Structure formats: structure tokens, C-alpha cells
Amino acid sequence: MGRLLGGIGARVLAVLAMVGRVSIYAGQVLRHLLTPPFYGREFLSALMNIGWLSLPVVGLTAVFTGGALALQIYAGGSRFDAAAVVPQIVAIGMVRELGPVLVGLMIAARVTSSIAAEIATMKVTEQIDALVTLSTHPMKYLTVPRVLAGLVTVPVLVGIGDVIGIFGGYQVAVRSLGFNSATYLQNTIDFLEPLDVISSLVKGAAFGVIATVMGCYFGMNSGRGAQGVGQATKSSVEAASVLILAANFVLTGVFFSA
């Protein structure tokens, strides 16, 4: 019993210690973000990788989710006024929760893993050491451009995901459930509040930062060898996913519980 509790305690302490280290790391990122030099080319290539190249997967995720949502609500909600309820729930569900969370998780899968694997490989092959000897701070050259790109592109991706998700629901509702197209759109627009959209974008920004910081943190702290790279990649995606879901819970509370 004592050993069991001790084990749990040690685990909790380890997690807390990691939270501390990640927070310190995030603080350093912020400091380097605000001091020159700034590597514009690295930033542009990060924008390309994180934003543009994520569009297909974000679009597909959103369109299927919006469609499934419409089907599900119609099936379960036929007792209500479906013409009003389906568009409302699709819009609210996509914009407030599913859009940001699913895009965030897709970014964790796609971007966090690739950042962690790339940086960890650079570490293992001494490329990080080489950067340092060439008077270039790895934090400024590798981390800052990626985190900044996450901060600006993920909200945009979430916005696009929201729209595509609503569009997916609309397609299903109009084409296979026989809804009236104009009424569906009107209901969607009437029901959505500015706060819904704002919360969606703020969540996107937070998730973008979480996903990129986790990738960089675990990459930079990778162990040695191929095993170290694998471990870093796995841990980064786990940590990013859990943190995104936790942050989503907190942000939902902040925006909607009052």
C-alpha cells in the first residue's frame, strides 16, 4: 500500500516537474520572441508547413465531422423542430468545440510530431551543436519561427475548419435529409454569436502555441540515438494532445460558463 502510494506520488511529482520545465521553456520562447534577431525565412517556411500544407487534412476532418453531426442530430432530434435544431447544433458544435479541438488534434498529429522528430534528429546528429558554434541560437532559429507560425496559422485553420464543417452539415442536411437550403443558412447565421467565433479563434491560437511548443520542447530534449527520436516524437504528441484537450476545457469555461 505504502509502495503503491509512493509510486503514485513519484508519478505526480514527475508530471509536475515536467510542467515546470515546459513552463520555463515557454517563458524562454517568449523572451526570444521579443528580442532580435528574427529569422524571417525560417518563419515563412514554418507558415508553409504548418498552415498551407495542413489545409487538406483540416478540410477533410471538418467536412466529415460536420456531415456526421448533421446526420446524428437529425436521427436523435427528429422529435424537435429539426429544421431549426440541426443547423443550430451543427454551427454551435463545430464552431465552439469540434472545429478547434479536431483541428488542434490534427495539428498535434501532423505538426507536433514532425517538429519533434526533425529537431530531435538535428540534436542527435549534432546539428544543434553546429548551430550554436555558428553563433545561431537554436531557440531563435528553430523554435521561435515555428511557435509564431503556429500562433498565426492555427486560428486561420480553425476558422476554415469551422466553415467547412458547417458546409459539410449543410450538404448532408440539404442533399440527403431534404432540408430547405435558404432556411438552413438563415438559421445558422441567426444563431451564431460573435463570441462563438471569437472563442473558436482564441482556442485555435492557444492550440497552435501548445502544438508547436511541445514539438520543439521534446525535440530539443530528446535522448540520444534513433530510440531517443522515437521517444521524443511520441511524448510530444501525447503531451500536445492532452494539453490541447485540457486547454479546451479551461477556455470553454472562461468563455461560456459565466
Q: Taking the complex as a whole, how short is the minimal distance between the CB of residue 196 and other proteins, in angstroms? A: 39
Q: Taking the complex as a whole, how short is the minimal distance between the CB of residue 125 and other proteins, in angstroms? A: 6
Q: Closest CB to other proteins among 233 and 248?
A: 233
Q: How far, CA to CA in Å, does 50 sit from each of 153, 163, 219?
A: 7, 19, 17
All three cell numbers of 74, joined, read 437529425
Q: How far, CA to CA in Å, does 27 sit from each of 32, 151, 200, 230, 242?
A: 9, 15, 25, 26, 20
Q: Closest CB to other proteins among 33 and 68?
A: 33
Q: Closest CB to other proteins among 175 and 224?
A: 224
Tell me which residue of 107, 15, 23 sits closest to 61, measured CA to CA: 107
User: Mask 26-65, x = binds other proteins (CB under 8 A)?
Assistant: -----------x-x--------------------------
Q: Taking the complex as a whole, how short is the minimal distance between the CB of residue 75 and other proteins, in angstroms? A: 49
Q: Taking the complex as a whole, how short is the minimal distance between the CB of residue 126 and other proteins, in angstroms? A: 4
Q: Taking the complex as a whole, how short is the minimal distance between the CB of residue 135 and other proteins, in angstroms? A: 4
Site of grid cell 520543439: 216
Q: Closest CB to other proteins among 142 and 205?
A: 142
Return d(Cα 67, Cα 173) in angstroms, integer.
8
All three cell numbers of 152, joined, read 498565426
Q: Taking the complex as a whole, how short is the minimal distance between the CB of residue 114 and other proteins, in angstroms? A: 12
Residue 72 binds other proteins, judged by CB under 8 A:
no
**Backbone phi, then psi, for 77, in 5-degree steps?**
-110, 20
Q: Closest CB to other proteins among 37 and 253?
A: 37
Q: How many residues bind other proteins (CB under 8 A)?
A: 14
Q: Closest CB to other proteins among 40 and 56?
A: 40
CA atoms within 13 A on the CB side of 115: 37
Q: Closest CB to other proteins among 99 and 138?
A: 138
Neighbours of 185 (CB within 10 A): 14
Q: Taking the complex as a whole, how short is the minimal distance between the CB of residue 38 and other proteins, in angstroms? A: 11
All three cell numbers of 228, joined, read 531517443
Task: Report yes or no: 256 and 200 within 8 Å, Cβ to Cβ.
Answer: no
Which residues in the 108-167 window bind other proteins by CB under 8 A? 122, 125-127, 129-136
Return d(Cα 175, Cα 156) in angstroms, integer.
28
Return d(Cα 122, Cα 145) in angstroms, integer.
16
All three cell numbers of 135, joined, read 553563433
The 3-state DSSP class for residue 226 equals helix
Interface residue list for other proteins (CB under 8 A):
37, 39, 122, 125-127, 129-136
